[in-house]
Chains A and B, each alone.
Chain A
Amino acid sequence: MKFQFETIADFIAMNGHGPYVWASYAITFAALIFLLVSPLLQKKNFIKQQQKLQKLAQANPAADQSVE
């Protein structure tokens, strides 16, 4: 197994196919990063929001039922 290109510049150019190959990889990895980050952020926001609600409920127990 060896590096298939003479220079780094050749690796980036890929005999003219560079823009196609790199664009595909960029789009794919951007999508994968989005798929990974999105549920993590959603969980973080959900927990934050629920903690706020818990605080409110503790401060005012009578209002507990109305909190959605």
Chain B
Amino acid sequence: MAWQWFHRLGSPRWFYEKTTAWMPWLAALSIALLLTGAVWGLAFAPADFKQGNSYRIIYIHVPAAFLALAGYYIMAISGAVGLIWKMKLPFMVMKSAAPIGALLTFVSLVTGSIWGKPTWGTWWEWDARITSMLILFFLYLGMIALQQAFTHRDTSDKASAVLALVGMVNIPIIYKSVDWWNTLHQPATIKFTSKSTIDPSMLYPLLIMVIGFYAFYALVLLLNTRVEILRRESRTQWVSDLISATNKRA
């Protein structure tokens, strides 16, 4: 009984139908959190005594970087689950996670670069954190390219899952880069094991943004996975019924 949910996860149809009702709630939650956090961070959080107002970029830079990394875990773990239990759905999640992760990594690199200009006086530096994030971006691009390189879907899924797992090596390097190499990038702001090096008046909007980004990530990952389910199951009866039941004006 306890494992029933796990077996159900192997069923794209069950997953599609189950998640339909979640979509509007997840959308409302993530948009509310992102708007609240952004307005709070931009207008109501105090300015940093050292960096002035440029530090307000933290409210989008850090959450985007968090999700770029968390997205990689999700992608690699989905790939592993797909390989081990030979399930269809995890591969669809893995495929959907790649372009989202690539764009979020890109956003964290670009916002970091823009933040670097007024703070460090340079747009780019071959600092350990920045370089390892750039490698993460290329890993995501490699995933997207590899998925399109095969005509056979099973081969494509398996090869991409292996690439995602091999790329996992980079993740601890990114996390530890600010401690191992003491270069330009500042150390972590939020710490789970000790007190965060940030004042609560600045921390609360950041936490709201992080939760908002997680909710938004869940939303877009589900939306993309649901489209992928429809595509891959397009020949099944349930998708066919769903399509003929959908309003023609759509």
A20 touches B240 (CB 8 A): no
Residue from B61, B216, B223, B246 within 8 A of A24 (CB atoms): B61
Please give, as numbers and ranges, the residues of chain A lying within 8 Å of B43 by CB-CB distance.
3-5, 11
Nearest-neighbour CB distance to chain A for B206, whole angstroms, equals 14
Q: How many angstroms between the C-alpha atoms of A65 and B234 in the bound complex? A: 14
A20 touches B227 (CB 8 A): no
B44 touches A4 (CB 8 A): yes
Q: Is A63 an interface residue (CB 8 A)?
A: no
Q: Is B132 an interface residue (CB 8 A)?
A: no
Residue from A4, A11, A27 within 8 A of B111 (CB atoms): A27
A1-25 vs B, CB cutoff 8 Å, 1 = contact: the mask equals 1111100000100111110110111
Main DSSP-derived SS at the A contact region = helix
Residue from A14, A35, A54 within 8 A of B100 (CB atoms): A35
User: What are 8 A-B pairs with beta-carbon distances under 8 A?
Assistant: A20-B115, A20-B117, A21-B53, A24-B110, A27-B111, A31-B107, A32-B216, A40-B223
Which A-B residue pairs are the 10 nearest by beta carbons?
A: A14-B53, A39-B223, A17-B54, A17-B53, A24-B111, A28-B60, A35-B220, A50-B243, A24-B57, A39-B224
Residues of chain B having any CB pair with chain A under 8 Å: 27, 34, 38, 40, 42-47, 52-54, 56-57, 60-61, 64, 100, 103-104, 106-107, 110-111, 114-115, 117-118, 201, 216, 219-220, 223-224, 226-227, 230-231, 234, 239-240, 243-244, 246, 248, 250
